[in-house]
Structure 1
Amino acid sequence: MKAVIIGAGLGGLLAGAKLTKAGYDVEIFERLPFIGGRFTNLPYKGFKLSTGALHMIPHGSRGPLAQMLKEVGADVTIIDSQPMAVILKENNEIISFHDFRNELTLTKQVKLGTVLAYSLKFKPKSDISFRDWVLKYFDDEFLFKLADSFCGWALSLTAKDVPAREMLEIIDNMYLYKGSGVPIGGCGAVTDALSQIIRSNGGRIYSQSCVEGISIENELAKGVIVNGKTIGADIVISDIGHFGTSKLYECKDKEYLDKISNVKPSKGIKICLSSDEPL
């Protein structure tokens, strides 16, 4: 079976490693001159800057991403964060993330626990934003600011731009898997390990190879077009996002196109700090 993957970011490389381990013939096409997408390293004055993501594994060594890396045999060491996270208050006091409840009155602490327990079990079915969900139950400036900070840290979005059900899923996973972790060697150590698995299993990864289109037959993806040449495949996987993928074929699903055209991209400013010794 032949699989073609568009994009050599973290998702594309994970898919490639999984498929090559299962015996698939895999080819990955990446338009950039390096692999890893937003999850790799760029050398800068002796330091390694990430290309987009933080040098971080969501939920550390216990989480889904770490489990997938173990399943494919990626040689990555993850150091779990201790403490899980901290909050910098406006008076510059630093508190543990789990201690934020102490900033609320006892009545609000009890109410928050009850609301969270109910909402984690019965998540909202509507598109109510996380900010409006908080506002629905609380009138507390500290909680509003915490919601914005948490969404910014997790998704590079504000609370008004994130559906409450999505944020509650993240909170649920925090209780289940705990906090994040840092991979030794940064993001690049993860994507480099995945590329080694793919190549060792006979897969091929091509950089500076831009996919021009997806070949469609009877409404099924049957390959990709690269440099004017059609490369057939039993499976086509795209790791370049909904919008980018929709540009590669004639999508006739108007409802889907309308939905992805209204998606708001995440934005953020990342400040990289360097150290002359391990932190």
Structure 2
Amino acid sequence: MSWVQPVRIPADVEQEDRIVGGFTARQVAILGGTGALIYAAYLLVGDRVPLLVCAAAALPIALAGILLAIGRRDGVSLDRYLLAALRHQRSPKALVSTPGGISPAPGWIAARSAPRPAPLRLPARGVAGDGLIDLGPDGVAAVAEVSTVSFALRTPDEQDALVSTFGRWLNSLSGSAQILLRAERVDLTETISTLAENAQALPHPALTAAAHEHAAFLADLSARHDLLRRQVLLVIREPAAGPSGRNAAAARALRRLDEASRLLSACGLTVRLLEAPTTNALLASCFDPAAPPLPADQLATPGQVITTGERW
């Protein structure tokens, strides 16, 4: 008869393993390297420098090693945070979106010497007409907006049914999928103006007064609070085998999205594929979340010629 030894699994599956005294391999390497550095320095100068002076010189190095090993900033270990800061400091700050290299400025331009711009490397090459995001050699990604349901207001049996249905969808996954929850600002300016304009056409003065009162309430609410809207997105990603495999990857992504829509509909969820203008607006808002949302119909797609209404 064999006994099964239970093993405690942390809730954070990405947590690093503790190997020595509650320290991870990275922390042990930093502490061990700091100790080896101090010991090597003592072997070199220990015979010629008093012990008190060696201890005073080694103390800042030991504190720096301990801080690097156990310190954290914004949820990131201090050594990785400092490496990211150095990488950001050495990287170019002026980035431009260009498919080729950056041509040097002509010699006849008397411009001050400044760092040249560097190409902006983005994982997304563009958005196709079917709304799929072209990831270049990494394949394609389909983004769909998913509605929500109230889980707390359901009975225990209904909650079990929802969990079982969601689990069946998770078990049916055959590729990469991401559930993204976004909080975006809500602009009520258009709603308030539309409400005020339509109030004049109401058949009764009491309805008109109520519409104006509601518009004033929305204007006051928008002025006193930062209104946010939660958006749930389902991202399906499919790799492409070579440049010619984009169509096959797109077909697989759409097929998986249809399957998710069919299975999640049993939970009362609606899965809607985002169209190309909406996907463009979504990607633009990810670069500047604090900016007001851009109108989807005013964003140009890649390769589209931008014209004006003026004639010369």
Calculate the TM-score normalised by the size of structure 2. Answer: 0.20
Choose between structure 1 and 2 for higher RCO, CA contacts under 8 A separated by at least 6 residues: 1
Which of the pair has more CA radius of gyration? 2
* Structure with a larger share of its residues in helix: 2
- Larger strand fraction of residues: 1
With normalisation by structure 1, the TM-score equals 0.22
